Structure 1
Amino acid sequence: MKIITTFILAFLLTSVVTAQVRIGDVVLPYKVTFGEEELTLNGAGMRSIIGIDTYSGGLYTKQKFNDPKVILDSDEPMSIRLNIVSKKVTNSRMIKVFRKGFDDALFGNTENMDDRINDFLKLFSSPMQINDYFDLVYIKGKGIKTFKNGEELGFIEGRDFKYALFKIWLGNEPACKLIKGGMLGLSQ
């Protein structure tokens, strides 16, 4: 009996220490740290097109949220992680998705942000490969730092930019409803 109890305890402790979440073939860490901020996975989902998984999206926050409006309006540190799982996702296609996403998020009124949007899109000019991941990290009161595979690509200023960027997945007309539901912890 002691051996079984010890085994179960060891298994549980190992599971807690290496806490990860699987979304399709992607394994997301349960916690991520950017600077001094530790963020916890709020939820995640997979985008599929014609039955083919293309990328996953995970939302990391300091506390759990299921209301997209609260997330969009929040001035707290948070991050979206995008994991590429298909060679169909190229940098030019990703740029196209972002451009359409910003246009939809801002109802076509992107003029006030065009320079920042263009600077952001330039961060995605290098080729993408399967297993590449991007972290879009909101720094409280400052703006978005973008990382590719853990390496910083650049910074775009403004809470309004964070609002528009996060609205691509969390707005009323998201780029992918499955990812939105997953990020909000509403679907598996």
Structure 2
Amino acid sequence: MKKLSILFIVFVTFISVNSQTKVGDATLPNTVKFNEEKLIINGAGIREKFFFDIYAGALYLKKKNTSASTIAKADETMAIKLHILSGMMSRDKMASALREGFKKSTNGNLKPYNKRIEKFIGFINNEIEVDQIYDIVYEKGKGSIIYKDGVEKGYVTGLDFKEALFNIWIGSKPADKGLKKEMLGN
């Protein structure tokens, strides 16, 4: 009976360890659920700046895909998870990075997005701390939602906004080319 109990514990430990992905100092789940839809990790990596790990990022989709443009244009539930790893990431730096990311992802054509960009950035209204987790989720029929530590902070409508938002990480001018490659599973 004792051997059976030990085998059961080893089995449960093995299953729980294999349901997560270790990325730097972060442990990210292999599956998440938003809008009652199960998403699987497509790929994950580290956003680095000046040799510092800023955050672990992961892309979650309904099924794996390596085509950035197909992913960005898809009108289906998907998510990007950001696990903050450095105190160097502040609210102001995140806001600045998002504005710069939108500028790049829209090739400078910000006019149709400006009000929604500022609304979205406004949902990050508290200082960012190490080990906080931000989920940027697109839910079909609702829009682009931001969650902080599992709590919805707000959302912005529009598939066009979602495409520009996701292209910050996976577009032709991504925030971090290495992270893009890892998120796409390459």
Task: Trace 1:28-67 onto structure 2 (pairs within 5 A).
Answer: 28-67=28-67
In 2: Cα distance, 1:85 partner to 1:16 partner: 26
In 2: Cα distance, 1:85 partner to 1:135 partner: 15
Aligned to 1:16: 15
Whether the 8 Å CA contact 1:92–1:125 is kept in 2: the answer is: no
Is 2:123 aligned against 1:123?
A: yes
Q: What's the Cα RMSD here?
A: 1.7
How far off its partner does 1:15 sit?
A: 2.6
**SS of match in other structure, 1:28:** strand
Whether the 8 Å CA contact 2:137–2:144 is kept in 1: the answer is: yes
How far off its partner does 1:14 sit?
A: 3.4
Whether the 8 Å CA contact 1:141–1:158 is kept in 2: the answer is: no
In 2: Cα distance, 1:49 partner to 1:104 partner: 18
**SS of match in other structure, 2:118:** helix
Letter in 1 for 2:25: D
How far off its partner does 1:178 sit?
A: 1.5
Moved over 6 A (4+): none
In 2: Cα distance, 1:132 partner to 1:39 partner: 21
Aligned to 1:93: 93
Q: TM-score, normalised by structure 2?
A: 0.92
Gaps of at least 5 residues in structure 1 are none
How far off its partner does 1:12 sit?
A: 4.8
Superimposed CA distance per residue, residues 3-38 of structure 1 (whole angstroms, 9 cap, x where no aligned partner): 69x84x864553334510000000001111113111
In 2: Cα distance, 1:162 partner to 1:16 partner: 34
Aligned to 2:114: 114
Task: Trace 1:162-181 onto structure 2 (pairs within 5 A).
Answer: 162-181=162-181
Letter in 2 for 1:14: T
Letter in 1 for 2:183: M
In 2: Cα distance, 1:13 partner to 1:100 partner: 44
Bigger mean CA deviation after superposition, 81-90 or 13-22: 13-22
Aligned residue pairs: how many? 182
Superimposed CA distance per residue, residues 22-58 of structure 1 (whole angstroms, 9 cap, x where no aligned partner): 0000000111111311111111110112221011110
Task: Trace 1:147-158 onto structure 2 (pairs within 5 A).
Answer: 147-158=147-158
Whether the 8 Å CA contact 1:41–1:59 is kept in 2: the answer is: yes
Letter in 2 for 1:115: K
Whether the 8 Å CA contact 1:141–1:159 is kept in 2: the answer is: no
How far off its partner does 1:76 sit?
A: 1.3
In 2: Cα distance, 1:11 partner to 1:184 partner: 32
In 2: Cα distance, 1:172 partner to 1:145 partner: 23
**Identity over aligned pairs, percent:** 37
Letter in 1 for 2:151: E
Letter in 2 for 1:93: K
CA 12–42 in structure 1, closer or farther in 2 if over 3 Å, else same: farther
Whether the 8 Å CA contact 1:42–1:183 is kept in 2: the answer is: yes
